[in-house]
Chain A
């Protein structure tokens, strides 16, 4: 006897507009259908109506948390079209802000993951310490979250020696705290019991479904755009690509915590080797790139981000395409949430498994349907769903 449990589009488990319809037998999830069509905002169309400079601000609003990655990807694309090289200092400054926002995103996620397994103390600790990164971002860029830092031709603000000292101090604090969080995660039974052997995604499946980012690396595939296709100053700043091979939620937590530590080292290295000189080249306000096309990739906190632009020689993009990491991870999420063989998904594990991919629906807005039993379709309209729930309710009453 199987039942359907709808979670979302408004649900305490995940406060983002998303509908997950679970097919369950007893406590076991046997199928899931993910519907993410509640937030299509038409940004790709909107970018076609704006000139290149105004596009930066719209690209920034694709996702609040990964805004540094989105603007970086956008401006790189336009610079590639214009065939302009930014000054070396700007490359390092871009890297610093990008890595700071990665720390911010990963710590935010760690707090949410703790919240989803009911470990509220860790949630409070992590979010308190995350404020320190936001303070640093505010000092460098002027804004706590939406940084508006990258611009075509470089960055908007420079770092002074006083700021540099403050950043180093902040990083020391963050490193100490992150190491403590890692110890907590590795030793605390609450975390271990809830995350080990939960949400399995085998390496073969991760490649088959084109998973990206920390999800892919937690399935022991060594792929990171920063290493494989370096941009900004990533070809000069050394770092390790973190992988874990247990392929579960626990591995995804450790990958992110270790990435925070790597980010801290990268920022320190960049501050030590910060080139002098200009941080921006001035370009005309109205930019008219030659006709052509360009692909730009950035490792956003959630994974591989891809922007494509086609220019027809006018001051507005002819076509702008964004592929966000969460969209790429949706098929893998559906796989993690489906019981198969020895691997069983329980209802209580849904929040942390879904949370473990760090979903960000504001940048996605798309639908997924998984078909386990061939030839059987479970896509229902809203009315059918309402009818079904009423029938069920009456039968049990």
Chain B
């Protein structure tokens, strides 16, 4: 299955819920979807198109919203991107269809405060025990104490 076929299959299945599709280079597909069908798209890719692996979940702070990107791939890497508002960063968890993705969701929760609804274990994960609650280091309003290299 090549990049074109993946995009066509997605468009056929989800229609106008797919906001944007692009293939900047070979074996890379970037898809932007609405928040509601994020989980369905991931499920479709994993089960119907047999992509097998969720490789990572990236969160990014972009002005007034947070981006959640699930990188799914085997040979071709498909990045499913969706946007959640910053004041209510809740999104459906994909734990029940992809068990191994639990850690990735907890990582994004720790670093950016994205709440994955349905993740059974959304607890402190990579930050130290004494890190204050509600401080998310990868958000842009968090300034690192020693941001610059010493020299």
Report A's interface with B, CB cutoff 8 A. Answer: 36-38, 40, 42, 44-46, 49-50, 54, 80, 207-211, 223, 228-229, 292-295, 297, 304, 306, 308, 310, 318-319, 321, 323, 327-328, 330-332, 365-369, 371, 379, 381-382
Interface string of B50-93 (1 = CB under 8 A from A): 00111110101100000001010111110100000000000000
Q: Which of B130-151 contact A (CB under 8 A)?
A: 137-138, 142, 144, 147-149
- A308 x B58 contact (CB < 8 A): yes
- A37 x B77 contact (CB < 8 A): no
- B56 x A321 contact (CB < 8 A): yes
Nearest CB on A from B47, distance (A): 12
Please, how many angstroms separate the alpha-carbon atoms of A321 and B77 in the complex?
15
- B100 x A223 contact (CB < 8 A): no
Interface stretch, picked from B1-9, B11-19, B24-32, B34-42, is: B24-32
- Chain A residue at minimal CB-CB distance from B28: A295
Taking A327-B107, A366-B106, A367-B123 as known contacts, 16 extra A-B pairs with beta carbons closer than 8 A to each other, sorted by chain A number, are A45-B138, A49-B149, A208-B99, A210-B53, A210-B54, A211-B100, A293-B30, A295-B77, A297-B77, A304-B55, A331-B99, A331-B100, A331-B102, A366-B126, A371-B121, A381-B129
Q: Please give, as numbers and ranges, the residues of chain B lying within 8 Å of A44 by CB-CB distance.
A: 111, 138
Is the CB of B127 closer than 8 A to any CB of chain A? yes
Do A40 and B147 form a contact, CB below 8 Å, given A306-B55, A308-B58?
no
Please, how many angstroms separate the alpha-carbon atoms of A293 and B22 in the complex?
11
Nearest CB on A from B98, distance (A): 7
Which of B79, B98, B125, B147 lies at the interface centre, i.e. has the most chain A CB atoms within 10 A of its CB?
Answer: B125
Partner of B71, one of A36, A223, A306: A306
Nearest CB on A from B145, distance (A): 10
- B128 x A80 contact (CB < 8 A): no
Please, how many angstroms separate the alpha-carbon atoms of A19 and B138 in the complex?
25
Q: Please give, as numbers and ranges, the residues of chain A lying within 8 Å of B79 by CB-CB distance.
A: 293, 295, 308
Nearest CB on A from B103, distance (A): 6
- B137 x A210 contact (CB < 8 A): no
- B74 x A228 contact (CB < 8 A): yes
Is the CB of B33 closer than 8 A to any CB of chain A? no
- A306 x B56 contact (CB < 8 A): yes
- A323 x B55 contact (CB < 8 A): yes
9 interchain pairs, CB-CB under 8 A: A37-B126, A46-B144, A49-B148, A49-B149, A294-B25, A319-B60, A365-B126, A366-B126, A367-B126
- A310 x B123 contact (CB < 8 A): no
Partner of B100, one of A36, A46, A209, A321: A209
Q: Please give, as numbers and ranges, the residues of chain A lying within 8 Å of B117 by CB-CB distance.
A: none
Please, how many angstroms separate the alpha-carbon atoms of A319 and B67 in the complex?
11
Nearest CB on B from A299, distance (A): 13
